[in-house]
Chains A and B, each alone.
Chain A
Amino acid sequence: MQESTFESMESSPPGVGSDEAEALTAEQAIANLQGADLGLRFYAAWWLGRFRVRDEAAIQALIAALEDEADQTEAGGYPLRRNAARALGKLGDRRAVPVLIQSLSCSDHYVREAAAQSLQALGDSACVPALLNLLATGLQGEQLVPNQPDLSQPYDAILEAVGALRAAHAISHVKPFLEHPTERIQYAAIRAMYQLTHEAAYGEQLVQALKSPSLQLRRTVLADLGAIGYLPAAAAIAQTQAENSLKLIALKGLLEEQLQHTTPPALSAGAINVMTLMDELL
């Protein structure tokens, strides 16, 4: 499914005007990605993802960029690899899966996070064992490792990916993270548990979180509810204190879930209810 700029809230990297972005061509971006100028390479990787360039040459160049050694920050980060991993998630080519799985063991936390997010987007279950191995690094048996909060791994991105991939055998790995002290990670676990068990209690926990005093958490939970398509949340989503854009995206997730159970032109009562709420938020 193609997501629009509106859905991903993508923006240009700082200092890049949209005119400049439009001015690049696919050929030029692919050439820049393989050039010597690190700034141009970093920008080209972002650009190829942003403008959905699915050329063979673009895919191959981005896959190669995942193993780049030239672009490193003083702290040991790999900016180009991060952008390449993010772009490959947007291009929908499953040939990127093996090399993204390798990126899950990169020394850079943000490369691991981008790889987990892109593997989720590509929807290939081949990555589940590697994702579970990463979750296991935070576990001792059926408990979280002591000395919490453990933020050594991008647990929220990993939990969301195993939930989205419906890896039912992942439940025992996911469940301990319900106790994680970091809300972001806790709610990612709740979302994954709903996707793996379909127990309404998890959906209701997310609905309750829409009343949280933290705007950032409310935004996260809106995205979670949209991702799981939890219909009983519809009215609470419409009423929560957050931007209408985000409420509309969440309700769209509920609507799409409803549409899976009917054949056009039939619409379920749930779908009609959700659309009526959406109309009011435009």
Chain B
Amino acid sequence: MADLSILIRAVEEADSASLLTRAVQNLAAVGLEAAVPTLIAALSYNNPGAAVAAVDGLVTIGQAAVPALLEQLDQHNYTARSWTIRALAGIGDPRGLVTLLGGATADFSPSVRRAAARGLGVMKWQWFPDDLLEIAQAEALEALLFVAQQDEEWVVRYAAVVGLQALAATLTATDPDGRSQIQAQFEKMAIDDESWAVRARILMAQQQIQAKTSYLLLQPPEEQASPLSAVDWQMILESLYRRKGQERLMLSEGDPRSYQAMAVAIAQETNPPH
């Protein structure tokens, strides 16, 4: 294996667009966590080839890249931001959920909306605690139905169909009602949507749901347990509620918010106030 520092230096010293792209591709291929800062920097170089390669590398590295990606979202470089959302969509980490909800429904760029819509379908749902799962999937469902109905770009509606198909597969046991909402939406769009490509993708989704043969489900489920802490879940929950703009009135037994006191305590221990 090539020495990582040599690969990183090649990215930093690349003096042409094509050299930079190749250097980022080489670094991305290694898939090591130590490459994350360099790959994230490559999202801001205004070089689409390098950015695509960096996103691929970050998706391969997966959840270890998520904290740095979330930090990158706070920067004011729109182009880098949109590549960041694409990387979060590819990783499917729950900490990116609220970002993807916003990206799918409201981002200015169709390429962000389409990546986020697909990402909402293939979140790592198996990591979610039960109570939070229900809330999170309801939000994802609502966002995807909205995008499928409203977006003016065929490619974004197409991506919403892909997302809804994946979501339908995970809703089987938990939410039969949500599943039938998806089916109804598909039936309507199969007739109404103005794009042939979108209508065809709906036919494929309907057939794969019926036959349970979606390649989206053929990917081996990750055996890995959730790496997220109680604080992470707390933050996800709070940002979901902020997005909703309303608190649910009933706190049921085991509601994630019952972790709140503990979460705050842990957060104070591990992150001294800035």
Contacts from A to B (Cβ < 8 Å): 2, 4-7, 241, 243-245, 248, 252, 255-256, 259, 264-265, 267, 271-272, 275-276, 278-279, 282
Segment at the A interface, from B127-135, B149-157, B242-250, B263-271: B149-157
Asked if A4 meets B159 with Cβ closer than 8 Å, knowing A259-B200, A267-B200, A275-B201, the reply is no
Contacts from B to A (Cβ < 8 Å): 48-49, 52, 110-111, 114-115, 117-118, 152-155, 158-159, 162, 190, 194, 196-197, 199-201, 203-204, 206-207, 215-216
- A244 to B83 alpha-carbon distance, docked (Å): 13
- A175 to B171 alpha-carbon distance, docked (Å): 57
For B216, the chain A residues whose CB sits under 8 A away are: 279
Closest to A3 in B: B154
- A245 to B159 alpha-carbon distance, docked (Å): 12
For A264, the chain B residues whose CB sits under 8 A away are: 190, 199, 203
B138 to chain A, nearest CB (A): 23
B196–A244 CB distance below 8 A: no
- A282 to B104 alpha-carbon distance, docked (Å): 12
A282–B203 CB distance below 8 A: no
* Of the residues A2, A244, A245, A256, contact of B197 by C-beta under 8 Å: A256
A244–B162 CB distance below 8 A: no
Sample (15) of A-B pairs whose CB atoms are under 8 Å apart: A5-B152, A6-B153, A7-B154, A244-B111, A245-B111, A245-B155, A255-B196, A259-B196, A259-B200, A264-B199, A271-B204, A272-B204, A278-B197, A278-B201, A279-B162
- A6 to B115 alpha-carbon distance, docked (Å): 15
Closest to B110 in A: A6
For A241, the chain B residues whose CB sits under 8 A away are: 49
A278–B48 CB distance below 8 A: no
For A256, the chain B residues whose CB sits under 8 A away are: 196-197
Question: Contacts A255-B197, A264-B199, A279-B162 given; 9 further ones with Cβ under 8 A?
Answer: A4-B153, A4-B154, A252-B154, A259-B200, A265-B203, A267-B200, A271-B200, A272-B204, A282-B162
